[in-house]
Amino acid sequence: MEIIIEEVSRGHKVISRDKFLTDHVSIGRAYHNDIILSDPHICPDHLTLEFDGQHWRVKDLDSINGSFLGEGKKSADGHVVNSGDVIRLGKSQIRILFPHHPVSDSISLSPFENLINATKQPAVLIFNVLLFTLITGWLYFLNSPKDINFTQYVVPAAGITLVFAIWPIGIALVSHLTKHDARIWTQLGVCFVFYNLTWVSDFLETVVKFNSSSQSMLAYLMTLLPISLAFILFWLNTYIGFHVSNRRRTAIAAGLTLLLFGGTYLIQLSKKPDFSVRPQFDSTLLTPSFLVTESSSVDEFIDASNKLFNKVDKAAKEKE
Amino acid sequence: MKKILCILLLFGSTWTYAAEQAEAIFKQLAPSLYQIRIIDKASGEKSSIGSGFQISADGVVATNYHVISSFARHPAKYRIEYIDDQDNKGDLSLLSIDVVNDLALVKRQVETEMPFFEISQAAPVKGEEIYSLGNPHDLGMIVVPGTYNGLKSESFSDRIHFTGSVNSGMSGGPVVNKETKVVGINVATSGNQIGFLVPHEKLLALYQAYQNDELPDIAQQMQSQLTDYQHQLVTELLESPWQLKNLGYGLVPTIDVPFIRCWGESNADKQDAVMLMVLANCSLEENLYIDSNFYTGSLEMEFRYLQAKKLSDIKFYQLFQRQVSRVMPGNKADKEDVTEFKCQHDIVMPQSQGINNKAIFCTRAYKQFDDLYDVLYLAISVDHHQQALISHFTFAGVSKQSAQSFTKQFMESVTWK
């Protein structure tokens, strides 16, 4: 009778898989066994599986640490095996399957997967990393009040690029350590595509802020853009690096996004003084070329200030 | 040589004459002159000192508001005490105040009628010898002779320009003429030999109001005085001519009143600067003292013209954006006095259509006073690629109505040539 025995890790990853066409399988640490496990908590002759013509039955050979079913404390001795049963012996686990055990539907290689793989193409990857470095350098140049030469902004830009490469490399490392495919180039490729998309979203946000008045909700809505980008990036990082269910992947991505933005928000909140004499306002400026909005009149601006006066009146009453 | 000797002799003789006069004046008036101390109740020690002088037989004493301000603001925490020339001590009660002219009336208990300072009915003539009395640095009562130099013109509230040393601690002391009548009250100094006095008629008005009217409590007096003051100030500012002056290629308003003074600066001499910056600053060079952490009544206007030199448009805008985010209010105020600023912004074009600005307006409300605010306005032109005009003002202690009228006028005035 055919039987498939998998050695699985505690994280339910398959370590080895064997198929037998026999009625008797012995498992233990000694070399004469059919399945040899090196776990020191397993006896040289630990257990056997016997086929009695109808069923496979587990027989523990009076091992020191015993054999148990699944995660529980129920002894596996004498158990009639069903396909998919997990038996714990020592600190190891085996899973027993029969040939008719169902498998999940095959996943077609989606265009999406191709898209992700496209980002690791050397040309695409180099282009994205270079683009990121150039934009970083250019912003550094824009913000420096003095005339600076090329190397003075290329060096910090390269440094920032290296710092940003730590994230994809880190994930690849974690994937590798958890016995997944590291896919380091794919992680790097996807991350730098999204870093560049963040510049685009930053720019859009600036344009909207510059054009909208404090009355407009659009500027607030624009903050959703970087949050969504971060979520998608984290989701893709998990998709590339780990084999987990869609639900779990979404939960991980949502958690990371919350950690990033919630953490940043909390840090800002903790730094905020109890009372500040400095006015907080939006001073976003761009060149006239990016000004697309209609101007308000002075009267409209003064009218709008009524709301502001009401707000501070309320604040003055509250704290009295 | 003879001439010089003559002048020296003449100077010597007037000097001795003045000193003798001063001595006589001091002897005669000393019993009506007090040191006023604000005593912190918890520690029992004095937290500030000043001078005061009796102006009625029944014990009304005049002093500066700023001498007794901590008591006026926190009556539970402090008490007011006087010490006379015989070192007798006693408590004083607060009757009324004038925050705008920095005056206060306090009262001591008297058993019998006492001598007092008479308030002059007429102002001195320019050049007249007058005598300032007071208690500088806690050293004991002194008399300082000096000259009346008329009213200070660059001041919205009337102040006498006195040539003589008014030192700290002399605040609240009287300034008398040769007839020992009060012509002013010591209030401030501006360095060597330049002192400022509150004119006597302000004290007369305050005393008459106290005698004739039922006065509201101190907080309400302060409220109505601050409200009236800002109303008068803003009305005068808005009714005065607003003249447009060149600032680079921009036109900015200056208000043609003597109490607003302007200063200018530029970096035209700096060859390596990445942009040309021309700056004009106009301000009302006085403010109202409420307490040591709270000033109001100040107005500052600032204009900057910027022109890029060998800069791309984007870098030019990016660089001066950093300048405008550092705006601060012009007056000192604490958490107990004001709320935090709330701000609004928009792209605004005035009726003249001469300029298109990103305009920012912020305000904070006073917690103890109704309808008084500090406001702050900042506008940056966004219609030229290589030039920018920044216009800015802060105005402290104005009503909503005043703030809005002033802001409107200001916004409509700034433009390009």
- Dist. CA A293–CA A10, nearest whole Å: 60
* Structure confidence at residue A152 (pLDDT): 81
Burial class (CB in 10 A: 0-12, 13-18, 19+), B155: middle
Q: Report the DSSP pairing between strands B118-119 and B181-189.
A: parallel
Q: Give the Å distances, CA to CA, from A51 to A44, A78, A281, B170.
A: 22, 12, 79, 113
Partner residue opposite B343 with nearest CB, options A281, A284, A302: A281
Contact B221, B214 (CB under 8 A): no
Give the pLDDT of residue A265: 93
Task: Look at residue B179 in the predicted model and tell me its pLDDT.
Answer: 82
B297 backbone φψ class: left, alpha, beta (φ>0; ψ -120 to 50):
left
The average confidence (pLDDT) of chain A is 90
Confidence bin at A237 (pLDDT 50/70/90): very high
Which chain B residue's Cα is nearest to A303?
Answer: B404
What is the average per-residue pLDDT within A114-118? Answer: 87
Q: Among candidates B362, B266, B356, which has minimal Cα distance to B305? A: B266
Residue corresponding to tokens 């009401």: A310
Closest Cα in chain A, distance from residue B387 (Å): 10
pLDDT value of position A253: 95
B380–A275 C-beta distance less than 8 A? no
Whether A141 sits inside 8 A of B315 (CB atoms) is: yes
Contacts of B266 (CB under 8 A, 6+ apart): B276, B277, B278, B279
Residues 6+ apart with CB under 8 A from A88: A67, A68, A69, A70, A71, A76
- C-alpha B249/C-alpha B270 separation (Å) is 19
Confidence of residue A249 (pLDDT cuts 50, 70, 90): very high
Cβ–Cβ gap A312/B347 under 8 Å = no
| Residue written as token pair 């084999």 | A243
- Choice between B247 and A146, residue whose per-residue pLDDT is larger: B247
| Strand pairing class (B46-54; B60-63) | antiparallel
Q: A289 CA to chain B: closest CA distance, Å?
A: 8
Q: Can you tell me whether residue B263 is helix, strand or coil?
A: strand
Is residue A89 within 8 A of residue A63, CB to CB? The reply is yes
Distance CA A206, CA A200 (A): 10
In this complex, which of B335, B358, B403 lies closest to A285 when CB atoms are compared? B358
Q: Does A292 touch chain B (CB under 8 A)?
A: no
Q: What pLDDT does B400 receive? A: 95
Q: Which of A295, A311, A316 sits opposite B347 (nearest CB)?
A: A295
Q: Indicate whether this model's pTM tops 0.90.
A: no
pLDDT at A223 over 60: yes
Q: Which of A1, A102, A15 shows the shortest CA–CA distance to A49?
A: A1
What does the pLDDT look like over A47-101, one tens digit per residue? Answer: 999 998 889 999 999 999 989 988 888 888 888 999 999 999 888 999 999 999 9
Q: In this complex, do A298 and B350 lie within 8 Å of one another by their Cβ atoms? A: yes
CB contact under 8 A, B385 and A147: no
- Neighbouring CB atoms inside 10 A of B222's CB total 22
Q: Could you tell me the two tokens for B82? A: 């006087």
Tokens standing for B389?
């005009």
DSSP class per residue in B334-400: -TTTB---EEEEEEE--TT-S--EEEEEEEEEBSSSTT-EEEEEEEEE-S-SSEEEEEEEEEEEE-H
Q: Is B348–A141 a contact, with Cβ atoms under 8 angstroms apart?
A: no
CB contact under 8 A, B384 and A288: yes
Where chain B has pLDDT below 70, the residues are 1-26, 136-140
**Residue A42 CA: distances (Å) to CA of A34, A56, A82, B395:** 14, 21, 23, 84
pLDDT at B137: 61
Shortest Cα–Cα distance, B382 to chain A (Å): 5
CA atoms of B234 and B372, how far apart (whole Å): 13
**CB contact at 8 A, B394 and B403:** no
Go through the domains of chain B in sequence order and give each one's CATH number: 5-215 (2.40.10.120), 224-416 (no CATH)
Interface test with B, best of A298, A303, A307, A314 (most B CBs within 10 A): A298
Tell me, what's the pLDDT at B20?
Answer: 66
Helix, strand, or coil (residue B172): coil
Position A111 confidence tier, pLDDT thresholds 50, 70, 90: confident
- Identify the bridge partners of residue A75 per DSSP, sorted by sequence position: A68
Taking the C-alpha atoms of residue A61 and residue A56, their distance in angstroms, rounded to an integer, is 16
> What's the Cα-to-Cα distance from A223 to each of B1, B19, B343, B344, rounded to whole Å?
84, 76, 19, 19
B366, β-bridge pairs: B338
Q: What would you report as the CA-atom Rg of chain B, rounded to the nearest whole angstrom?
A: 25
Residue A136 in tokens: 């970083």
What does the block give as tokens for B78?
A: 């402090």
CB–CB contact A214 B376 (8 Å): no
B279, HSE (Cβ side, Cα atoms, 13 Å): 11
Given a cut of 90, whether residue A310 has pLDDT beyond it is yes
Cross-chain residue pair B344–A286, CB shorter than 8 Å: no
- The percent of residues above 90 in pLDDT, for chain A, comes to 56
- Residue-wise pLDDT tens digits, B359-414: 999 999 999 999 999 999 999 999 999 999 999 999 999 999 999 999 999 999 99
In this complex, is the C-beta atom of A287 within 8 Å of any C-beta atom belonging to chain B? Answer: yes
> Are the Cβ atoms of B317 and A316 closer than 8 angstroms?
no
DSSP, res A65: S
ipTM confidence: 0.86
- Say if A305 is an interface residue toward chain B (CB within 8 Å): yes
Window 110-169 of A: residues touching B by CB (8 A cutoff) are 141-143, 145-147
pLDDT at residue B25, rounded to an integer: 65
| Cα B112 to chain centroid, rounded | 38
The nearest alpha carbon in chain B to A307 belongs to B344
Residues A158-185: pLDDT tens digits? 999 999 999 999 999 999 998 888 889 9
pLDDT score for A246: 86
Best of A272, A285, A286, A306 to disrupt the B interface (most B CBs within 10 Å) is A285
Q: What is the pLDDT of residue B17?
A: 59
Instruction: Give the pLDDT band (50/70/90) at residue A142.
Output: confident
CA distances from A13 to A59, A98, A99, B216 (A): 25, 18, 19, 85
Which of B213, B380, B195, B233 shows the shortest CA–CA distance to B306? B380
Residue whose pair of structure tokens reads 């890029």 in the numeric block: B308
Beta-strand (E) ranges in chain A? 2-8, 14-21, 24-28, 35-36, 47-51, 56-60, 67-69, 85-89, 92-97
Cα angle, residue B73 at apex, residues B70 and B78 outer, rounded to 5°: 50
Instruction: Choose from B317, B389, B407 for mutation: most chain A CBs within 10 A.
Output: B317
The two three-digit tokens of residue B111, written as one number = 């058993």
Residue to test with chain B: of A272, A308, A310, most B Cβ within 10 A: A308
The predicted pLDDT at position B341 comes to 93
Query: Which pair of tokens denotes residue B30?
Result: 């000393």
Contact: B341, A280; criterion CB under 8 Å = yes
Instruction: Indicate the length of chain A as a whole number.
Output: 320
As a whole number of angstroms, the distance between CA B376 and CA A46 comes to 83
The rounded distance, in Å, linking the Cα atoms of A237 and A182 is 11
- B325, B366, B408 member nearest A283 (Cβ): B325
Mutation target among B223, B274, B344 for the A interface, most CBs of A within 10 A: B344
